[in-house]
Amino acid sequence: MRVFAQTKPLIAELTNIASDKSISHRCAIFSLLSDKKSVIKNYLRAEDTLNTLNIVRELGAVITDENGTITITPPAKIAEPKVVLECGNSGTAMRIFMGLLAAQDGFFVLSGDKYLNNRPMARVAKPLIKVGARIDGTSGGDKAPLCIRGKKLDYFKFKSEISSAQIKTALLLAGLYSNGCEFSEDELSRDHTERMLKGMGAKISDENGVIKLEAMTKPLNPLEISVPNDPSSAFFFAVAACVVPGSHIVLKNVLLNKTRIEAYKILEKMGADIKFTKTSEKYEEIGEIEIKYAKLKAVDVGENISWLIDEAPALAVAFSVASGVSTLRNAAELRVKESDRIGVVVANLKACGIEVSEFDDGFSVKGGVAKSAVIDSHGDHRIAMSFAILGLSCGMDILKSEFIATSFPNFSDILRQMGARVED
């Protein structure tokens, strides 16, 4: 991908932002928790989420996709597949399926592309093994392909040392299909799973940060949901409005869950002109976000990191155009995403002439004037999109940009809709 320096403000109301990836994954997987048809509108049709649908089909579901609506008819019992379950590039899918399948009667193998199969999975496998699951894999069980010999688990209590929605979801699904569980973490991670399970009729409560979930004695209610637009995907355009002077962007039908808009709150602290308007609420709060260009100032970020972990590369771009030195700390989780996002962000910002320092758990960025560069995304969709946004200020060539399709197939189209010049 080549992005050219922008000479005019970006002005647009965006309705065609990618649907929320986290909720789309869960809609497909959680449909298996019911014995009735789930109806899902605005499902994200990206490589990662389509792979998740394929796995749900291999587990016995019947799936139809007509007129923009996906209908999933679950099997009476999750089937033992005769093939390897391919997760593509999605760590979210692999880790959530690990929890679901750990409590099923059967043998299952999860695998992915060369990037996913090089990512650590012990962070989810070890907690599951600790509560009785049988999971093994390559590199001593740390990496996929992963083999799961499912069985019903005893009631368990687990406190996670890592605040992670993926770990939480895996443990809750294992407990739901077994004998129930209690789960806690130091800092609240994304809470889509708790909200959706409650909406489906699961007996779940949160008492002073301890989630208590009773075993599923009968199938849950089916889903009937329209997936909102993804605030993590929309955040790239919020940053774009802060990169290009005079810009004015309105993001429509966006998820406003507090655990998903922390990065926008950081932009507000940096001086961005942002307005949130809630328009509806069912499973989740949904609305619009309006961003007008304003000069940014430096900020220190070290709290609620699990709420902005996906937005961190784009936030680094905002740091690079702000006055002063900004820091991100307590974000070691970035090391184990689709790439080592700390190391890759630092290397690419340096390539753009930005002064940056690397820490074990984050980085500091001195705002300045970026220069055009060739960016290696390392096969990481969020790195590719983040530096495409920085390229609006100076021009940029992005290598391995094809991985953007794993989460946001129409990213380039939206940039053009906003007035940017982009060549795929």
Residue of 310, 360, 380, 397 with catalytic role: 310
Can you tell me whether residue 219 is helix, strand or coil? coil
Q: Active site includes 310? A: yes
Cα R_g (the chain), whole angstroms: 21
CA 144, 359, 356, 189 torsion-angle sign = positive
45 in a labelled binding site = no
Strands 396-399 and 374-376: parallel
Q: Is 310 annotated as a binding residue?
A: yes
Tell whether 95 is in a known binding site: no
- The Cα-based distances of 95 to 109, 348, 398 in angstroms read 12, 29, 29
Residue 398 sits at φ, ψ, to 5 deg, of -110, 120
Q: Are strands 156-160 and 224-226 parallel, antiparallel or unpaired?
A: unpaired
Side-chain half-sphere CA neighbours of 165 within 13 A? 23
- The answer to whether 328 and 335 are in contact (CB under 8 A) is no
Q: Is 190 known to sit in a ligand binding site?
A: no
How far from 206 is each of 183, 184, 189, 198, CA to CA, in Å?
A: 9, 9, 13, 11
Q: Which amino acid would we find at residue 8?
A: K
357 is in an annotated binding site: no
Residue linked to tokens 């996002």: 341
Residue 350 assigned ligand-binding role = no
The response to whether 91 counts as a known ligand-binding position is yes
- The response to whether 149 counts as a known ligand-binding position is no
- Distances in Å between the Cα of 374 and the Cα atoms of 314, 315, 349, 371 are 17, 20, 11, 10
Measured N-to-C along each axis, helices 381-394 and 341-351 cross at an angle, to the nearest 10 degrees, of 20
CA-to-CA distance for 227 and 229, rounded, in angstroms?
7
Known binding residue 41? Answer is no
- 183 in Cβ contact with 211 (< 8 Å): yes
Cα separation, 280 vs 259, whole angstroms: 17
The tokens for 250 are 């309105």
Amino acid at 271: G
Enumerate the known binding-site residues: 21-22, 26, 91, 119, 164, 166, 310, 337, 341, 382
Catalytic residue list: 310
Q: Which residues are annotated as a binding site for phosphoenolpyruvate?
A: 21, 91, 119, 166, 341, 382
Feature table: binding site for 3-phosphoshikimate: 21-22, 26, 164, 166, 310, 337
